[in-house]
Amino acid sequence: MEMTTLPKPRQPELKTALPGPKTAEIMARDAQHLSTSYMRPYPFVPDHGEGVWLTDVDGNTMLDFFAGIAVSTTGHAHPHVVQAVQEQITKFSHVCLTDYPQEITTSLAERLVKHVERPGEKWRVFLGNSGAEAVEAAVKLARNHTGRTHVISTMGSFHGRTYGAITLTGSKTKYKRGFGPLLPNVSHVPYPNPFRPPLGSTPETCGQAVIDHIESLFVGILPADEVAAIIIEPMQGEGGYIVPPADFLPKLRALCDKYGIMLIFDEVQAGMGRTGKMFSFQQFEQYGDVQPDIITLAKGIASGLPISAMLAKESVMTWPVGSHGSTFGGNPVAAAAAHATLDLLEGEVKHPGCGESLMENAAQVGAYIMAELKKMQAEFPFLGDVRGQGLFIGLEFVKPDGSPDGKLRDRASLAMFGKGLLNLDCGEAVIRISPPLILTREEAETGLKIMRETLASLN
């Protein structure tokens, strides 16, 4: 791998000479003993992290622009999170929330619902360990509450790897091949992608086209009164970091109201402040009513500790005592990390150089990155689309005829990695930019410089 010299960042010096001997040795052992299903896109074995920087076992320091798939909200080893975890673990690390209440999880639930409750509308929270568990809980609740069985999901979606969740997932066939039979009574409809509008629509009409498509199913194929829920990512993650048109979510809310269908927003990847608001659907509130019935959260909620949440309107969370639970779900140490993460996201605790709150920082630094990438798009014709909101940004690579160029994306991604930028692909030909929300403008500049150099080298 090539070495690059970059201006000295404020934090540890970027240093890449990959793969070093310890990396190679651990990767060889990993290949011997760990699951054959794990992907290993690049030779990287982390040793420790600080802020947005990760240092590997050979002493190479990388700038983290993927945050462990949009998880490390507060960066690595944030002192406020570390302290919260240490304090809780010396008290107790498990009792079982399914059986006994704990103040730390009660107050976490109270804090989470404050971001969604409206006057006269109470919400409740179920806590799990992973995104897939939150999705499973959401679908079980929707079925239990409505007494209906069918669920509609979207093409290109990702909802997790458990049986229910892979059934709902619509992004890659490899997630399903050889695993069937899956959950019955699940249908997929197109996602309104303005860059590649489905159903013969245009960027402006793709939202309405998807709504019309769903209603056409209700005429001849699927009785609407058997549909328990529509589950959708308000901004699609794994499928390519796609932002739907402004009119789509209000229209989807209205459609669900018309037929008594539960609207589930899967905020596992785009939620928790990443787009500049606590939940990504809130970016669309200015265009109409987009309040869902159920929300799923995980990833960024606790800066890397495993906890997830399924939030539902009190009027919807009607499943009976004992009908759902989890041994580890709502673990108090993870809940302490979630509180510390929320302190920083909401601005109760300030992170130096990040303005009033990490949510505000995500909006500002994200807007700066987006503006710089738009300039690159004008310069490099193979950069077909630059899209997103806050620090949820996708770069789509295209061939001269406009079709997705996955091979070029792979070359770009590997070259960026070689220059010290940890990044991750998604969709068919997209690189996602999902750094920790503590990313400063100066650190963003370092990443953008690597991206520009890479794109220029592809020309």
Output the CA angle 379-384-388, nearest 5 degrees.
105
Tokens 């949510």 identify what position? 359
Quote the least distance from Cβ 308 to ligand PLP, whole Å. 7
Q: CB-wise, 135 or 278, nearer to ligand PLP?
A: 135
Q: What distance separates the 2 farthest-apart alpha carbons in the chain?
A: 63
Q: CB-wise, 249 or 298, nearer to ligand PLP?
A: 298
**What distance in Å separates the CA atoms of residue 1 and residue 15, rounded to the nearest whole number?**
12
Q: Is 274 in the site for ligand PLP (CB under 6 A)?
A: no
**Which of helix, strand or coil describes residue 397?**
strand
Q: Which stretch binds ligand PLP (CB under 6 A): 26-34, 128-136, 330-338, 351-359?
A: 128-136
What is the chain's percent helix, strand, coil content, to nearest 5? 40, 15, 45
Residue from 61, 269, 280, 341 binding ligand PLP (CB under 6 A): 269
Quote the least distance from Cβ 267 to ligand PLP, whole Å. 7
Instruction: Say if strands 227-232 and 150-154 run parallel, antiparallel, or are unpaired.
Output: parallel
Under rule CB under 6 A, which residues in 43-82 are in contact with ligand PLP? 69
Q: CB-wise, 298 or 422, nearer to ligand PLP?
A: 298
Radius of gyration of the chain (CA): 22
Q: What's the Cα-to-Cα distance from 196 to each of 245, 280, 357, 396, 399, rounded to whole Å?
A: 12, 21, 35, 11, 14
Quote the least distance from Cβ 249 to ligand PLP, whole Å. 15
**Which of helix, strand or coil describes residue 442?**
helix
Quote the least distance from Cβ 74 to ligand PLP, whole Å. 18
Q: CB-wise, 44 or 158, nearer to ligand PLP?
A: 158
- Binding to ligand PLP by CB under 6 A, coded x per residue (else -) over 213-242, reads --------------------x---xx----
Q: CB-wise, 140 or 411, nearer to ligand PLP?
A: 140
Q: Is 159 in the site for ligand PLP (CB under 6 A)?
A: yes
Closest CA to 433 of 311, 233, 223, 269: 269
**What distance in Å separates the CA atoms of residue 252 and residue 257, rounded to the nearest whole number?**
9
Q: Which stretch binds ligand PLP (CB under 6 A): 57-65, 100-108, 125-133, 179-187?
A: 125-133
Q: Which stretch binds ligand PLP (CB under 6 A): 106-114, 212-220, 262-270, 389-397?
A: 262-270
Output the CA angle 455-61-63, nearest 5 degrees.
45
Contact between residue 161 and residue 175 where contact means Cβ atoms under 8 Å apart: yes
**What distance in Å separates the CA atoms of residue 140 and residue 228, rounded to the nearest whole number?**
10
**What distance in Å separates the CA atoms of residue 393 and residue 67, rounded to the nearest whole number?**
13
Query: Which pair of tokens denotes residue 38?
Result: 């794990």
- Binding to ligand PLP by CB under 6 A, coded x per residue (else -) over 298-327, reads x-----------------------------
Q: Is 136 in the site for ligand PLP (CB under 6 A)?
A: no
Q: CB-wise, 238 or 247, nearer to ligand PLP?
A: 238
Residue from 135, 210, 295, 342 binding ligand PLP (CB under 6 A): 135
Quote the least distance from Cβ 66 to ligand PLP, whole Å. 12
Residue from 56, 136, 266, 428 binding ligand PLP (CB under 6 A): 266
Q: Give the CA dihedral 285, 289, 295, 301, nearest 10 degrees.
A: 10
**Which of helix, strand or coil describes residue 22?**
helix
Q: CB-wise, 233 or 372, nearer to ligand PLP?
A: 233
Residue from 19, 68, 131, 234 binding ligand PLP (CB under 6 A): 131
Q: Is 132 in the site for ligand PLP (CB under 6 A)?
A: yes
Q: Is 271 in the site for ligand PLP (CB under 6 A)?
A: no
Burial of residue 90, with CB atoms counted within 10 A of its CB: 0-12 exposed, 13-18 middle, 19 or more buried: exposed
Alpha carbons within 13 angstroms on the beta-carbon side of residue 229 total 28
Quote the least distance from Cβ 278 to ligand PLP, whole Å. 16
Interface ranges with ligand PLP (CB under 6 A): 69, 130-132, 135, 158-160, 233, 237-238, 266, 268-269, 298
